[in-house]
Amino acid sequence: MEIRIATRKSELALWQAKHVAEKLKSVSGVSRVELVPLSTRGDEILDKSLQKIGGKGLFIKELEVAMQSGDADMAVHSMKDVPADIHDGFCIAAVLDRANPTDALVARNCTRFADLPNGAQIGSSSLRRQAQLRAMRPDLDVVPLRGNVNTRLAKLAAGEYDAIILATAGLQRLGLDQHITQSFTPEKMLPAAAQGVVGIECLEGQGDLIAILQQIEDPTSVVTTAAERAVAARLNASCQSPVASFAELDGNTLTVRALVASEDGQTIIRASISGDGSNAVALGEAAAEQLLAEGAGDLLQALDE
């Protein structure tokens, strides 16, 4: 089988697509793997927040069009960018083993988070990160930041920010982890659903392709990703909502932690639940129900309004 992989053109997206391609080349029955780099609307519009232009789904729309038109067979995504409810006719056929799921502080002069001066400007495009940063340090000036990894690092180096927050996995994958000042543990900053996970999307009817893709997926990532995305789905939250979820599998026991925050970080509702890993989706939904019982729905509705 010859496989064409639709991918965004950013350096990180291409790294992920090439990573998947190398894994597929070792699978029996795969004769050739080709990358199909595409530009997405989310990559092209950098002067507006993602909330205002349609959310992170804009990073995958063109890739799905390529699959529908027959120009590509599958697409590779950072799973944290994939909406909880994907479009009809598509499926996440496989998820790979998870890289480091944490968020990283990259600061000028290697300043630790606790040592940033009052009023320091810290850049992040994520409402989830912004809310948790404001909760930890209300004195900081948390401001929007768009662009790919290297663009964001360049803005920091140019003095536009005192510090920025990026996914640890992305920096490590690009060999840029020397820039990391410190990583936040999940206890300090809860990650986005499936952060650090690479996912593969294809059309639902491609049974032969799905069978091949499932040969390279990671069973632990399957469980944790299902639980984390179930939280967002039950809350009807977008990728840009101030919602976080993180699941850890210890033997057969799955622990799911989740939170919903107000944009200013003054209110944070948390939930935690453990159970059998075979009930991943149900556990994720149960964590979401805990959040809703504590008022998470009102927080999210206020943000939408």
Contact 35, 17 (CB under 8 A): yes
Tokens 């499926």 — which residue? 91
Strand order across the 121-123 sheet:
141-143, 121-123, 163-167, 103-107, 182-184
Long-range contact set of residues 297-302: C-beta below 8 Å, sequence gap at least 24: 297/235, 299/242, 299/260, 299/261, 299/262, 299/267, 299/269, 300/235, 300/236, 300/237, 300/241, 300/243, 300/260, 302/262
DSSP bridge partners of 107: 163
User: DSSP 3-state assignment of 206?
Assistant: coil
Place of tokens 């992989």: 5
From the list 43, 73, 81, 162, the catalytic residue is: 81
Q: What angle do CA 280, 281, 286 make, to 5 degrees?
A: 100
The answer to whether residue 81 is catalytic is: yes
Cβ burial, residue 4 (10 Å; 0-12/13-18/19+) = middle
Burial of residue 18 (CB within 10 Å: 0-12, 13-18, 19+) is middle
Greatest distance between any 2 Cα atoms in the chain: 58
Active site residues: 81
